[in-house]
């Protein structure tokens, strides 16, 4: 059995300190495989992942594979994903599996063990999860994260416009997003300045500015904040600083299309990563 690593929040804070806050998304959708001159098959999928990993190692501390683009190839695609995640972790990268799992009871526990147990084939350092069966439904995942030294990113203020009809809905206690954020923050026990919790939120780079209006305290619990929406989706580094305000130090910035569009060769991907890291600054 693998020895449990340090808690996710500590490893994430160290990755940000060493490499900056950029997280490279690994999104091998069909059009991009074609653009890279790769076949839309398992062999193309494997080669795509290899090139992204080669470009990322030593330049960033985090990658985020989008599980759906591997899952569409069935068991063989998930095998490629397992290979990629295992290789990335051997190279010292943190892996956030973007699977957005959400269920109840033993089913949620099954998802959590599949993705967070370090001895599992699909082991990742953190997993994106959906709280929209009630935040309490995530309890098995929270428990698994604690047991395995892993992390969770809970969907809260996502960048898709459709999300607002649920996330900004209000009752007598405030918005749905505020309730989710408060419960996630309560799962963290952070006492050291500069430390990060293990349970974080997904907050879009284009929607972070809604946090105050929605009653969401992004600084509570020192939650790590996974921010899609930078670059190709329109948000700039200045937008990130303005939108997240005092929570900016907690932000992990995902960039997928903005970097992957520069493939297929590793040198071009590397240059795109270096430019992005410089743009985001500290």
What are the catalytic residues? 100
According to DSSP, the β-strands at 151-157 and 170-171 are unpaired
Q: How far apart are CA 152 and CA 124, in angstroms?
A: 10
How distant, in Å, are the alpha carbons of 114, 120, 141 from that of 91?
21, 18, 26
Q: How far apart are CA 140 and CA 188, in angstroms?
A: 15
How distant, in Å, are the alpha carbons of 145, 170, 197 from that of 220?
19, 20, 10
One DSSP character per residue, 216-237 reads --TTGGG--EEE--BGGGSB-H
Q: Which residues contact 227 (CB under 8 A, 6 or more apart)?
A: 202, 203, 204, 205, 208, 235, 240, 244, 251, 252, 253, 254
CB 225 within 8 A of CB 199: no
According to DSSP, the β-strands at 94-101 and 22-26 are unpaired
Q: In this structure, what DSSP letter does residue 101 have?
A: E
**Residue 219: Cβ within 10 Å count:** 16
> What are the beta bridge partners of residue 226?
202, 252
């Amino acid at each position: 059995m693998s020895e449990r690593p340090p808690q996710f929040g500590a490893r994430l804070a160290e990755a940000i300190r060493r490499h900056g806050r950029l997280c490279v998304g690994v999104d091998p959708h069909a059009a991009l495989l074609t653009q890279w001159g790769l076949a839309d098959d398992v062999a193309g999928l494997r080669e795509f992942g290899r090139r992204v990993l080669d470009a990322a190692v030593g330049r960033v501390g985090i990658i985020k594979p989008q599980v759906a683009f591997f899952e569409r190839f069935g068991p063989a695609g998930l095998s490629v994903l397992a290979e990629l995640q295992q290789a990335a972790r051997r190279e010292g990268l943190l892996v956030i599996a973007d699977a957005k799992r959400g269920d109840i009871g033993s089913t949620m526990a099954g998802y959590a063990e599949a993705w967070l147990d370090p001895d599992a084939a699909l082991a990742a350092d953190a997993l994106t999860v959906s709280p929209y069966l009630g935040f309490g439904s995530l309890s098995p995942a929270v428990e698994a994260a604690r047991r395995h030294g892993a992390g969770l990113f809970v969907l809260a203020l996502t960048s898709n416009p459709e999300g607002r009809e649920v996330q900004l809905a209000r009752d007598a206690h405030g918005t749905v997003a505020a309730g989710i954020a408060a419960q996630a923050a309560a799962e963290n026990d952070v006492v050291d300045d500069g430390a990060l919790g293990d349970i974080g939120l997904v907050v879009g780079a284009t929607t972070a500015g809604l946090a105050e209006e929605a009653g969401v305290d992004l600084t509570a619990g020192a939650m790590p904040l996974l921010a899609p929406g930078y670059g190709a989706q329109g948000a700039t580094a200045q937008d990130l600083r303005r939108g997240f305000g005092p929570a900016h130090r907690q932000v992990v910035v995902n960039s997928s299309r903005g970097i992957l569009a520069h493939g297929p060769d590793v040198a071009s991907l590397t240059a795109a990563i270096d430019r992005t890291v410089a743009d985001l600054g500290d």
